[in-house]
Amino acid sequence: MTSRPTRADFDQYMVPNYSPQKVIPVRGEGSRLWDQDGREYIDFAGGIAVNALGHCHPVLVNALKDQADKLWHLSNVYTNEPALELARELTERTFADKVYLCSSGGEANEAALKLARRWAYNNHGEHKHRIISFGQSFHGRTFFTVSVGGQPKYSQGFGPVPGGIVHAEFNNLDSVRELIDDNTCAVMVEPIQGEGGILPATQEFLSGLRELCDQHDALLVFDEVQTGAGRTGSLYAYMDYGVSPDILTSAKGIGGGFPVGAMLTTDRVAPAMAIGTHGSTYGGNALASAVALAAVRHIDTPEVLEGANRRFDLIREHLEIINRKHGVFKEIRGKGLLVGAEMAPEYEGRAKDILPLAIEEGVMALVAGPNVLRMAPSLVIPEEDIVEGLERLERAIARMVSGQ
């Protein structure tokens, strides 16, 4: 008889690029999970903003089961009905005219960066290749995307990074003005920096980026891998700002837990990705597309989107109550159900210390860098689960403060 897998098996059999918590969840329903021993947890982590509708939502389960009996994968030698329906839904609901489907956020961002350079090459020549990104940004783990990302720790030790990439200061338009010129092909930005600490862009900043890109005929690329799919209370965060990009990337919540990514763009830009210029083996396969189609249709409704904003207010209210008792947070920020609580100076760098204590108290949370506690629960998490989860989180915080 095969023995039950344990956390020790990870250390024995898996490449050590992760350090997962000790518990191993085996079942999920809604916003709750159960581990191998039947212990229950409230999930404020959401698979890092992936499980937009929680665990095993019937809309997604039914879509998966229905498609599983029809068609899974063909390859891009053929197209399929779910992929075409998904692309149509995304274009009809957004600024975009065209969609490229892939399997992850890293793939979507890789495609966006390649498209931007190819478009500039085709329309202006090889000199127009520079990409501007921002300090503390995060765009994925491919070599190109970690190089564009503004956190050098992720690209160090892998050899020379690709050239033509420069970094400005987030929310500082003057820093962009100093870098942008007619050799710039694209500016890539997260409307809310996720891994960088749940930092929302200002209206002035994003509007200014749009103007600068227009002045220099550069493409504005919004990385909405984390902020998209309803996470901020709109289908995509650009809608909150009224600033449309030329290219937008989406993943995480768009599949509700199934690996799906998408790059959205306009008719002006899309032709640069001509036949043979790029590809993804699993991108747009029928099974993934059917699940994503169900997720998008369910998320992009007033009930879900307005509910995300209402839940943010509830979470903020309770975090402020916790903070009045324990004084651990400097600032609580975010939008919709992407919430960041920055640690107070006396607890600088200790956000990660809360996570194992939270697990012991029965709640799962995240960090965004060493100094921000992050929460990205299901967009439809019941409000009673929020209240109970924050009670558990408070117990964890109290233990950290007291040193227990």
For every residue of 87-118, DSSP letters joined together read: HHHHHHHSS-SEEEEESSHHHHHHHHHHHHHH
Are residues 170 and 281 located together in one domain of the fold?
yes
> Tens digits of per-residue pLDDT, 212-230?
999 999 999 999 999 999 9
The answer to whether residue 62 is domain-embedded is no
C-alpha to C-alpha distance for 232 and 335, rounded to whole angstroms: 5
Are residues 210 and 116 located together in one domain of the fold?
yes
Beta bridge partners of 187: 132, 220
* Burial per residue of 52-88, b for 16 or more beta-carbon CB atoms within 10 angstroms, e otherwise: bbbbebeebeebbeebeeeeeeeeeeeebebbebbbe
Asked if residue 134 belongs to a known ligand binding site, the reply is no
Q: What are the Cα distances from residue 292, in Å, to 3, 100, 267?
A: 35, 14, 23
Asked if residue 380 belongs to a known ligand binding site, the reply is no
Are residues 234 and 182 located together in one domain of the fold?
yes
Going by pLDDT thresholds of 50, 70 and 90, the confidence category of residue 118 is very high
Are residues 355 and 239 located together in one domain of the fold?
no
pTM of the predicted structure, to 2 decimals = 0.96
Are residues 78 and 47 located together in one domain of the fold?
no
**What's the burial of 242, exposed, middle or buried (CB within 10 Å: 0-12/13-18/19+)?**
exposed
For the chain, what is the mean pLDDT? 96
Asked if residue 29 belongs to a known ligand binding site, the reply is no
Beta bridge partners of 33: 28, 41
Cα separation of the two ends of the chain: 40
Look up the CATH number of the domain holding residue 379: 3.90.1150.10
**Residues with catalytic roles:** 138, 223, 252
Going by pLDDT thresholds of 50, 70 and 90, the confidence category of residue 403 is confident
> What mean pLDDT do residues 34-59 have?
97
Going by pLDDT thresholds of 50, 70 and 90, the confidence category of residue 404 is low
Position 88 pLDDT exceeds 80: yes
In degrees and rounded to multiples of 5, residue 341 shows phi and psi of: -120, 105
Asked if residue 225 belongs to a known ligand binding site, the reply is yes
Residue 57: closest CA among 278, 275, 304: 304
Are residues 121 and 192 located together in one domain of the fold?
yes
The answer to whether residue 285 is domain-embedded is yes
Are residues 140 and 155 located together in one domain of the fold?
yes
Percent above pLDDT 70 for the chain = 100
Position 31 pLDDT exceeds 90: yes
Structural domain of 294? 70-299
The answer to whether residue 1 is domain-embedded is no
Position 134 pLDDT exceeds 80: yes
Chain-centroid distance of CA 385 in Å reads 23
